[in-house]
Amino acid sequence: MSNKKVTDLIDRYMKVSFYVNKMGELLIKDEICDVLTNEQYYTLRFIEQQQYCTSTELSEAFYVNKSAVTSSINRLEGKGLIERARDLDDRRVVHLKLSEKGEALFQETEQKIHILVEEIMGNFKYEEIVNFLDTYEKLSQTFIQMKTGKGEGR
């Protein structure tokens, strides 16, 4: 592929990536109101999907350091949205779970986001959505491999 084509593809990717990420975050923020930040919503979502998790698991899942996770956890706990529970077998391990208030808020915001995403998907054929998600997942795996040093040629 020529340098011009590669440059054009990079420019196209950077522009689309910026607008999709920025507009997606703004649309989600409109749905989760002033109660949560996008980061807090994604944290609640991760905890809800895992049922229980540790701060280390959050740190690894979001590719951030533990101090950033601790700060986020403290804010969510301060809002009464998550609870900490010591592991019965190893008191050094602290499990995180959604509180009743956190579960209720998560379900409310999840429903709003579901409606938003369903509206967006209405602009595409089913096959287009599946092909896009397959490609996006492949891109995600490529990024993860590059970040962890396991990519091809590394």
Report how far residue 40's alpha carbon sits from residue 50's, in angstroms, rounded to the nearest whole number: 15
Q: In which band, very low, low, confident or very high, does the pLDDT at 154 lie, cut at 50, 70 and 90?
A: very low
Q: Which domains does the chain have, with CATH numbers?
A: 3-123 (1.10.10.10)
Tell me the C-alpha distance between 123 and 125, whole Å. Answer: 7
Mean model confidence pLDDT for the chain: 90
Rg (CA), the chain: 19
Per-residue pLDDT tens for 55-85?
999 999 998 999 999 999 999 999 999 999 9
Q: Write down the pLDDT at residue 8.
A: 93
Pairing of strands 94-98, 82-86: antiparallel
Q: How far is CA 51 from CA 12, 39, 83, 97, 154, in A?
A: 39, 18, 12, 6, 35
Give the integer Cα–Cα distance in Å for 103 and 7. 46
Contacts of 138 (CB under 8 A, 6+ apart): none
Asked whether the whole model's pTM tops 0.85, one would answer: no
Q: What 3-state class would DSSP assign to 85?
A: strand
